[in-house]
């Protein structure tokens, strides 16, 4: 059961009005009384109701961020850049990670709504966005087209897939596996895969396709990759993200098997630690800045009309 402000007041032996003044930093409160109230809130694990603060004329100055995981360098870098740009607007962040779980995503949105965040930036990979209006919250999506209600900021995934495929052909590869880091990639018309196929199918090469679940534990992914590659002799493996590409390289090394492996995303840490990986770089910092700019405009100007989609060029690395 949620702790009430009345219980805090009783614990601190002060009035409810005094607790409210401490929470909202309003009016004179002696340091002794302030410490008593703060100690009571800590003891009872009381979380101030941000919605109530807004009713007293105080904005939460908080943006909710929903991403699948921080274990992927792409999302870690994205969150760092979003936080940096929101700080210039004097906004703080409330981070939720979902591991691509629909149920967890529902919980995240409920948490953010209960804390009355002023807007949400999300990298949803479930169907949750398609079926909710978010009660009027300004929402911006990263790399996932949902509807004209939610603007999306993305890289040119279609062309990114094309330039990877062209590089493969330049290197005279003839038996190519396209490996998606999520099973949705082949069922929801993934633009990266569509771009690759548009080039490969116009050439005289053999193409294989496979997928592994983004949400699987690393050991499970490694086992699945080994199973997919067992007995096959692909001379190139095109992955739809860098993490999958790095796992493929690990498995191939253990198998003493040396196909060309390509990735996609090009985060700073991957480019630094694995400089020889052929990949496509998304301009994460620029995309993060634009998402923040759009969201703040939608918060400050409720009638601001954004475009449905903002696309940045993707660049081949190596």
**CATH classification of the domain holding 306:** 3.40.50.2300
Name the residue among 130, 132, 90 with its Cα closest to residue 113: 132
Same domain as 133, residue 94: yes
Same domain as 219, residue 127: no
Name the residue among 99, 92, 154 with its Cα closest to residue 117: 92
Name the residue among 202, 190, 210 with its Cα closest to residue 166: 202
Same domain as 303, residue 236: no
Q: Which residues contact 154 (CB under 8 A, 6 or more apart)?
A: 142, 143, 144, 145, 287, 309, 310, 311, 312
Same domain as 149, residue 124: yes
Q: Is residue 126 part of a domain?
A: yes
What is the model's pLDDT at position 300? 85
Please state, in angstroms and rounded to a whole number, the distance separating the CA atoms of residues 120 and 248.
34
Domain range for residue 103? 62-155+284-312
Q: Is residue 54 part of a domain?
A: no
Q: Is residue 164 part of a domain?
A: yes
Same domain as 277, residue 176: yes
Q: Which residues contact 121 (CB under 8 A, 6 or more apart)?
A: 63, 64, 65, 66, 82, 139, 140, 141, 142, 291, 292, 295
Q: Is residue 255 part of a domain?
A: yes
Cα Rg of the chain (Å, integer) = 24
Q: Using the structure block, give the residue that is written with the tokens 């009872």.
A: 44
Contact 29, 21 (CB under 8 A): yes
The answer, as to whether pTM is greater than 0.85, is: no
Same domain as 249, residue 140: no
Q: Is residue 253 part of a domain?
A: yes
What is the model's pLDDT at position 135? 52
Q: Is residue 57 part of a domain?
A: no
Same domain as 268, residue 173: yes
Same domain as 298, residue 255: no
Q: Is residue 317 part of a domain?
A: no
Same domain as 250, residue 212: yes
Q: Helices 218-229 and 242-254 sit at what angle, rounded to 10 degrees?
A: 60
What is the model's pLDDT at position 55? 45
**Count: domains in the chain:** 3
Q: Is the dihedral of CA 131, 134, 138, 144 positive or negative?
A: negative
Q: How many other C-beta atoms can be found within 10 angstroms of the C-beta atom of residue 136?
A: 7
Same domain as 163, residue 198: yes
Same domain as 193, residue 290: no
Q: Is residue 109 part of a domain?
A: yes
**What string of pLDDT tens digits covers the 318 residues of the chain?**
677 888 888 999 988 878 877 876 666 778 888 888 888 888 888 876 554 544 444 567 889 899 988 889 999 999 999 999 999 988 999 888 888 777 888 888 777 777 778 889 998 766 666 555 555 678 899 988 766 678 899 999 999 999 999 999 999 999 999 998 765 554 445 899 999 999 999 998 999 999 888 778 889 999 999 999 998 889 999 999 999 999 999 999 999 999 999 999 999 999 999 999 999 999 999 999 999 999 999 888 877 878 889 999 999 998
Same domain as 222, residue 140: no
Numbers of helices and strands, H then E, in the chain? 13, 12
CA 287 centroid distance within chain: 12
Q: Tell the burial category of 88 from Cβ atoms under 10 Å away from its Cβ (0-12, 13-18, 19+).
A: exposed
Q: How many other C-beta atoms can be found within 10 angstroms of the C-beta atom of residue 284?
A: 23
């Amino acid at each position: 059961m949620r702790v009430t402000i009345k219980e805090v007041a009783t614990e601190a032996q002060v009035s409810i009005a005094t607790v409210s003044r401490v929470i909202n930093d309003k009016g004179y409160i002696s340091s002794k009384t302030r410490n008593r109230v703060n100690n009571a809130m800590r003891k009872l694990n009381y979380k101030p109701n941000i919605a109530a603060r807004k009713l007293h004329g105080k904005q939460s100055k908080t943006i909710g961020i929903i991403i699948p995981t921080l274990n992927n360098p792409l999302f870690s870098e994205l969150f760092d850049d979003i936080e940096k740009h929101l700080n210039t607007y004097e906004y703080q962040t409330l981070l939720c990670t979902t591991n691509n779980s629909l149920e967890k995503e529902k919980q995240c949105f409920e948490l953010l709504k209960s804390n009355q965040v002023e807007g949400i930036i999300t990298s949803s990979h479930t169907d949750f966005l398609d079926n909710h209006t978010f009660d009027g919250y300004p929402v911006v999506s990263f790399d996932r087209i949902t509807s004209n209600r939610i603007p999306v900021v993305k890289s040119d995934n279609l062309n990114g897939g094309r330039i990877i495929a062209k590089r493969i052909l330049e290197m005279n590869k003839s038996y190519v596996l396209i490996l998606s880091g999520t099973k949705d990639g082949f069922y929801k018309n993934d633009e990266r895969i569509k771009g690759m196929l548009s080039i490969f199918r116009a050439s005289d090469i053999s193409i294989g396709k496979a997928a592994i679940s983004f949400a699987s534990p690393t050991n499970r992914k490694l086992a699945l990759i080994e199973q997919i590659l067992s007995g096959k002799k692909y001379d190139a493996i095109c992955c739809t993200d860098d993490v999958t590409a790095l796992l493929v390289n690990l498995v191939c090394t253990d198998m003493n098997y040396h196909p060309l492996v390509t990735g996609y995303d090009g985060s700073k840490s991957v480019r630094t630690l694995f400089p020889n990986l052929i990949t496509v770089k998304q301009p994460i910092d620029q995309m993060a800045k634009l998402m923040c700019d759009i969201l703040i405009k939608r918060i400050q100007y409720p009638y601001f009309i954004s475009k449905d989609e903002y696309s940045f060029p993707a660049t081949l690395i190596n």
